[in-house]
């Protein structure tokens, strides 16, 4: 294993410096996955974002409201039966 340096914004640096060992491990895994297969990483990031949103209380109904689409369209998008 090798250590590297990346220039990032002060905000990003502070966020990384404040991460737990578990979070740092996850970040390392994401970087490695991104470098090896960017398309798969995009889906992984989207899955993580969706899970985070669910944990913070974002429901499909709230998302539909934010996106200004009706629930029937949201259900079609999510592959749900109406």
pTM summary value: 0.45
Residues 30 and 44: beta-carbon distance below 8 Å: yes
pLDDT in tens, 12-62: 999 999 999 999 999 998 888 778 877 777 788 888 888 888 898 988 888
Domain annotation covers residue 3: no
Domain range for 18: 10-78
Residue 23 inside a domain? The answer is yes
Dihedral sign for Cα atoms in the order 53, 55, 60, 64: negative
- Would you say residue 5 lies in a domain? no
**45 within some domain:** yes
Work out the pLDDT band at 82, boundaries 50, 70, 90: low
Closest to 16 in 3D by CA, of 30, 36, 2: 30
31 in any annotated domain: yes
Q: Is residue 48 part of a domain?
A: yes
Question: Based on the structure, what is the number of domains in the chain?
Answer: 1
């Amino acid at each position: 294993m090798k250590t590297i340096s990346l220039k990032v914004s002060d905000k990003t640096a502070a966020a990384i410096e404040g991460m737990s060992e578990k979070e740092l491990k996850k970040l390392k895994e994401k970087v490695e996955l991104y470098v090896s297969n960017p398309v798969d990483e995009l889906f992984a990031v989207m899955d993580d974002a969706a899970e985070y949103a669910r944990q913070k209380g974002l429901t499909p109904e709230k998302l539909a409201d934010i996106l200004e689409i009706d629930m029937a369209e949201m259900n079609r998008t999510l592959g749900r039966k109406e």
